[in-house]
A and B are shown apart, each in its own frame.
Chain A
């Protein structure tokens, strides 16, 4: 038994935000009661001055195993997740081999189980080999444990294939997650198209590449049914397209990555390759419209797009560097900035990394309801510290936030009632 005492319990799924004690027994939530009311002999964690919330859920990570273990393994990725307060992650299929078959899905689940840190859900490929030519065996993938389908990293360019994917996936009730980018418009590009790219002499990726594909997918969805989840939205126009689709009652959801509401393309000055990601960092106007989207729930969830890359892939010329940054261990402080700016209340911010993703992807976690799995995070929203990439648990250190002074530190992460991360021991 574990008793978490004196914390401010925030459980958006149950509308709770008050001082409560939380009792865990046999890996499940046993009781959530006003402070001091639970009397029993249990291992006690004093959460005085801290927030106790459901473990965070990240629906968009790349763990690179199999195939690119030098960047991240399932184990190192899970440790990074735990350190960031995440207890559930969904892994994108662009590994080598690609997760387009039952055997790869099973391998990922077996590896995750063997390291036994956080809950791992594989996302299966939409197309075989992510090649954009033939549908993957979605039925078999779902049966093996896939919770959604995506060709992330490679958008589904062929509109006919996307249409059929929507239709076919309807049989299984799982969403398609699209990396929205018309590749014809972004070929050779490595940052947002605009004044900064023009000045730096780098080829731009126009924001319309994102807008057009979001519009296309919504148009297809309207005809076919199925479910669309727009990955890492970075364009203000695309936020508006999703808003309009939702107003029409279409089953569209979307996510934003913390870097897309924190940094603009101005950060690319100096050619730091840790500012290179896809979609690219956009403009202040896009950030403002993303924040509005978070406020009115056009943007349902926050997901990191955790994309580890080794120095070998990043310490090169900007145009040759791989796209992506690690995100699991900086997600909380960056998300809390939205609270500090009064854009979201703390419970609303937590909702977007707990109960909302759980609802969209039909996961039986993300709340502190009695009887549910005891996946819990304890964090101090006021603790200040400096991000130091050398101390990240991820195998890769590619973060543009190195050296940033941030606020909000995870002190404990529990999965199934077991402490899998404790800041005191790290």
Chain B
């Protein structure tokens, strides 16, 4: 199958078939990264621009490696090296990059809707690498790939997502994708970090971590975004940690085969205890590995590839 999409702005627009195709393709591409010569000529002559207006290590590197392993020419532009520091409007930046005929623009931006906004002004395919508190679709897809690898199937799995739900783009992308794949999603966090009417997205809300994970298949811990905290949301990180840090003690109540994932970067000891990070059920580094495969798959599929005969 191929996907009939020009852009990946979010997981909200993706159907079950699309997601399966992406996961299949990524699965097939994983092997490339284990070869001594980690490069195939699939996207030779294609140009990918990584346009990152927010700091990022994992995601930007992952996109760069993904493009390079497919032989695309990858150019990185970060907030401090872009004309944004000279006051250039985002649309003008996008139009200027477009004038150099790239095939894909990957964008990370602090404002919700930024990826969709530039998609109206470009012919290139846009991949949203995170827009404000809206979506981060590649993260959700790599989460699904990681879960699928360990659980076999996604249908009917119970996922608990813990932390600052309100400010998390990872949560939104995961909710849309997981619901599409038939999974149950339960959100856990202090009420100050649960956005108004999120239940309408078809999720459950709880404020008790130990209770919430008792029958869960997967637990996803979110980073407490200390850099954008409104002072009224929490009395202290200490109290947050007391209530919501995933410790081995709290984990004892969960099923033996629960999977632990985290989109990173981790605040050690705040949302997840060090020993839990190192627990064999913790898949944090598998997620990073799968991130490269997912991004390779998306670049390949957006530029017309299909998963026929890959597996």
A residues engaging B (CB < 8 A)? Answer: 193-195, 197-204, 206, 270-271, 315-320
Contacts and interface: CB of A to CB of B under 8 A. Distances in A.
A41 to B, nearest CB: 58
A338 to B, nearest CB: 28
Contacts of B201: 195, 198-199
Interface in B107-121: 109, 111-114, 116-117
Contacts of A206: 196
B251 interface: no
22 contacts: A194-B196, A195-B196, A195-B200, A197-B195, A198-B198, A198-B200, A199-B12, A199-B201, A200-B112, A201-B112, A201-B133, A201-B134, A201-B169, A201-B172, A202-B112, A202-B113, A202-B134, A204-B196, A271-B117, A315-B91, A317-B113, A318-B117
Residue of A195, A201, A319, A320 contacting most chain B CB atoms (<10 Å) = A201
Nearest to B12: A199
A195 B198 CA distance: 6
Contacts of B112: 200-202, 271, 318-319
B197 A195 contact: yes
Given A201-B134, A270-B116, A318 B111 contact: yes
B131 A201 contact: yes
Contact of A317 (B114, B196, B197, B200): B114
Interface string B165-207: 0000100100000000000000000000001111011000000
A320 B84 CA distance: 14
B196 A200 contact: no
B136 to A, nearest CB: 10
Contacts, number: 63
Contacts of A200: 112-113, 134
Nearest to B113: A271
Interface string B234-246: 0000000000000
A43 to B, nearest CB: 49
A193 B198 CA distance: 11
Contacts of B12: 199
A317 to B, nearest CB: 4
Nearest to A204: B196
A180 to B, nearest CB: 20
A225 to B, nearest CB: 36
B269 interface: no
Contact of B197 (A198, A201, A315): A198
A198 B169 CA distance: 10
